Amino acid sequence: MSLSHSELLQLKRWNTPTIYNGWEQITRRDCAADAFNLEETRDFMPQMGPMIGYAITLVIEPSRKEHKQVANAWEDYRKYVASQAGPKIVVVQDNDKPQVIGSFWGEVNSNVHRALGCVGTITDGAIRDVDEMTNAGFKALARRLCVGHAHSIPVQWGCEVEVFGTKIQPGQLIHADKHGFLAVDASEQGELLEASVFMDQNECDTVIAAARSCAGLSSEEAVSRINAAGGEFGKAARERFGSNDGEW
């Protein structure tokens, strides 16, 4: 399933934690372990806001020069990138981690991938040319910065990868921002927007509203009001989605 351009734009308006709150209501996966980064990642362009797209996957190993002996690796990899539906997020497994040797990403590669319909990358390796990547409109979540590219070349693509402790399949819908990323299965995409909007409104109507109307109340009265609002929050979630009452 692919979402419409309108649905993708609407999902992009929310931060990734808000999308997670909707996702946990509709998923059958473990909301404490699956689908999001289990290790810390850094957003090097937080001013660009969230990004959303479908995963294209890549494995690199910049420390090994012998990978450059593979004929037509760049050409074949770019054909793969161009052939996939967009918008696209390039998810890169760096086999050199945790000793990051070189960066696949920089000014040139970000511009090339932008031309092929990619909006950004999640790499558990490094990036460089941060200002130039930002200027290209290419967002990056990465482990760190580095100076050089070393022997960066596509090694394997269109396969399962693991980044920041999480396995990603090609074609998964990914939502990412400064908090991390969430990888959504195809069966979860259709309800994701509606669920996320509902849960955000549920928070505003109950717990947040109660917390922000406690001026002048005693501590006991404030706790009572917030507890009651938490109950309303859970009731609304259960009525809409079933057994899962959500965060509160």
List the domain boundaries for the chain.
Answer: 5-188, 206-241
- Say how far apart CA 165 and CA 184 lie, in whole Å: 16
* Contact present, 195 and 23 (Cβ < 8 Å): yes
Average pLDDT, the chain: 95
Give helix 186-205 / helix 16-26 axis angle, nearest 10°.
Answer: 110
Q: What is the pLDDT along the chain (248 residues), one digit of tens a residue?
A: 689 999 999 999 999 999 999 999 999 999 898 899 999 999 999 999 999 999 999 999 999 998 888 889 999 999 999 999 999 999 999 999 988 999 999 999 999 999 999 999 999 999 999 999 999 999 999 999 999 999 999 999 999 999 999 999 999 999 999 999 999 999 999 999 999 999 999 999 999 999 999 999 999 999 999 999 999 999 999 999 987 767 76
Q: What is the pLDDT of residue 3?
A: 92
* Tens of pLDDT, residues 194-243: 999 999 999 999 999 999 999 999 999 999 999 999 999 999 999 999 87
The residue among 61, 69, 120, 130 whose CA lies nearest residue 93 is 61
* pTM for this entry: 0.94
Distances, alpha carbon 237 to alpha carbons 30, 125, 206, in Å: 18, 39, 11
Q: What is the pLDDT of residue 1?
A: 60
* Contact present, 54 and 216 (Cβ < 8 Å): no
Length of the chain: 248
Which H or E run contains 130?
A: helix 130-135
* Contact present, 192 and 11 (Cβ < 8 Å): yes
Q: What is the pLDDT of residue 248?
A: 67
Homologous superfamily in CATH for domain 5-188: Ribonuclease E inhibitor RraA/RraA-like (3.50.30.40)
Distances, alpha carbon 156 to alpha carbons 128, 213, 237, in Å: 22, 55, 43
